[in-house]
A and B are shown apart, each in its own frame.
Chain A
Amino acid sequence: GESVGLHLPTLSVQEGDNSIINCAYSNSASDYFIWYKQESGKGPQFIIDIRSNMDKRQGQRVTVLLNKTVKHLSLQIAATQPGDSAVYFCAENYNQGGKLIFGQGTELSVKP
């Protein structure tokens, strides 16, 4: 398959700290990117998206940065809370309808 699911990298942070989750995407032609949060037993939840004509986009407590030169995407979460504990996935779309290619995911653990 196109999505490689390996042993999930884990990021552990203290409550109140900022978190940065990184993702390398695969296709230089990808023009749309989404970050999802998935809690145990639930489907992925949309967090924020960004188009390839932008470098940065901000939401509530979250910021996504896009570096097309090195095909890198990052999600910054400000003032991380225990409720942010989940697996975070980046996904890319390259003009193939609704098809999304997912990264392997990062497990974020927030210590109170």
Chain B
Amino acid sequence: KAGVTQTPRYLIKTRGQQVTLSCSPISGHRSVSWYQQTPGQGLQFLFEYFSETQRNKGNFPGRFSGRQFSNSRSEMNVSTLELGDSALYLCASSSGSGTEAFFGQGTRLTVV
């Protein structure tokens, strides 16, 4: 069974640009959550999608958005990039709430 796949693995963007990250969950999983990981703030929840609907949202500005497709694949978008957006962005998939959540390898975003 394939794990959670995130693409791309690495990205370098310039301030002010926008970026789209992709996540393919484990087959059969309908919940996809996104997290931002930085040395200073640790792992912080961005949002969760379940059956194409945003079910939960963390405390991030509106520049951070996401969506989920009918095949459960998810994308997150960050617009007007800032230097502080440099981080490892992680995607986790699960079959639902209160169940095992499995992470992908992450996308390392560097904003210069």
* Residues 1-43 (chain B) with a chain A CB within 8 angstroms: 4, 6, 31-33, 35, 38-43
Q: Which residues of B contact A46 (CB under 8 A)?
A: 100-103
Of A3, A42, A44, A95, which one neighbours B98 at CB under 8 angstroms?
Answer: A95
Task: Write the chain A residue with the least CB distance to B3.
Answer: A43
User: Chain A interface mostly helix, strand, loop or mixed?
Assistant: loop
A83 near B: Cβ within 8 Å?
A: no
Query: Which of A11-19, A21-29, A56-64, A99-107 forms contacts with chain B?
Result: A99-107
Give the A-B pair count, Cβ closer than 8 A: 95
Task: Say whether B58 contacts A98, CB under 8 Å.
Answer: no
Task: Say whether B44 contacts A100, CB under 8 Å.
Answer: no
CA distance A31 to B40 in the complex (A): 27
Of A5, A6, A100, which one neighbours B45 at CB under 8 angstroms?
Answer: A100
A1 near B: Cβ within 8 Å?
A: yes
User: Chain B interface mostly helix, strand, loop or mixed?
Assistant: strand
B92 near A: Cβ within 8 Å?
A: yes
Q: Which residues of B contact A105 (CB under 8 A)?
A: 42-43
Q: Which residues of B contact A96 (CB under 8 A)?
A: 56, 97
Task: Write the chain A residue with the least CB distance to B56.
Answer: A99
Given contacts A97-B55, A98-B55, contact A34 B101 (CB under 8 A): yes
Query: How distant is A16 from chain B, measured CB to nearest CB, in Å?
Result: 29
Task: Write the chain B residue with the least CB distance to A31.
Answer: B98
CA distance A44 to B91 in the complex (A): 10
CA distance A105 to B37 in the complex (A): 12
Please give the residue numbers on chain A whose beta carbons come within 8 Å of chain B beta carbons, in ascending order: 1-6, 31-32, 34, 36, 42-46, 49, 51, 89, 91, 93, 95-105
A-B CB contact pairs (8 Å), 6 listed: A34-B101, A43-B4, A95-B97, A97-B48, A98-B55, A100-B35
**Sample of 7 further A-B pairs with CB below 8 A, known A42-B105, A46-B100:** A3-B44, A3-B45, A4-B41, A46-B101, A97-B50, A102-B42, A105-B43
Please list the 10 inter-chain residue pairs (A to B) with the smallest Cβ-Cβ separation, ordered nearest first: A5-B42, A43-B103, A1-B44, A102-B43, A98-B31, A97-B55, A99-B56, A32-B98, A3-B42, A5-B41
